[in-house]
Amino acid sequence: MAHGDIGRQQLAILLQETEPVSIDTTGGLKAGMPGPAPSLAENPLLAFQRQQVELTRRQADLEKQRFWPDLRVGYLSQSIEKQAGFGIYQVGVSLPLFLAPLRGRLEAARLQSQVADRQLSYQQHRLRGELTIREQQFRQSRNTLAYYEASALPQADLILRTAEQSYLTGDIEYLEFVQSTTQAWQIREQYLNAVAQYNQSFIEQEALAGYVPTAP
Return the pLDDT at 214.
Answer: 45
**Domain encompassing residue 198:** 40-208
Residue 46 contacts residue 124 (beta carbons within 8 Å): yes
What DSSP designation does 17 have?
A: -
Asked if 148 and 190 touch (Cβ cutoff 8 Å), the reply is yes
CB 45 within 8 A of CB 127: yes
In a domain, 20, yes or no: no
The residues pairing with 93 across neighbouring beta strands, listed in sequence order, are 71
Q: How far, CA to CA in Å, does 139 sit from each of 18, 34, 195, 198?
A: 38, 11, 13, 9
55 is a domain residue:
yes
Beta bridge partners of 70: 94
Residues ≥6 apart with Cβ < 8 Å to 42: 209, 210, 211
Residue 157 belongs to some domain of the structure:
yes
Reading phi first (left if > 0) and then psi (alpha if -120 to 50, else beta), residue 16 is in left
pTM (two decimals): 0.60
pLDDT score of 26: 47
Which CATH number goes with the domain that contains 92?
1.20.1600.10
Residue 61 within any structural domain of the chain? yes
Interior CA angle at 15 toward 9 and 19, to 5°?
45
Q: How far is residue 213's CA from residue 73's CA, in Å, rounded to a whole number?
A: 56
For residues 66 and 96, is the Cβ–Cβ distance under 8 A?
A: yes
Asked if residue 174 belongs to a domain, the reply is yes
- What average pLDDT values come out for the chain (216 residues) when binned by 10 residues? 61 69 56 61 84 87 66 56 55 54 76 88 89 89 93 93 91 90 92 92 83 49
Nearest to 159 by CA among 178, 173, 140: 178
29, 192 in Cβ contact below 8 A? yes
pLDDT for the residue numbered 59: 83
Burial category of 194 from C-beta neighbours within 10 Å (exposed 0-12, middle 13-18, buried 19 and up): buried
How many distinct structural domains can be found in the chain? 1
User: Could you please report the per-residue DSSP string of 186-202?
Assistant: HHHHHHHHHHHHHHHHH
The answer as to whether 204 is a domain residue is yes
> What pLDDT score does 192 carry?
92
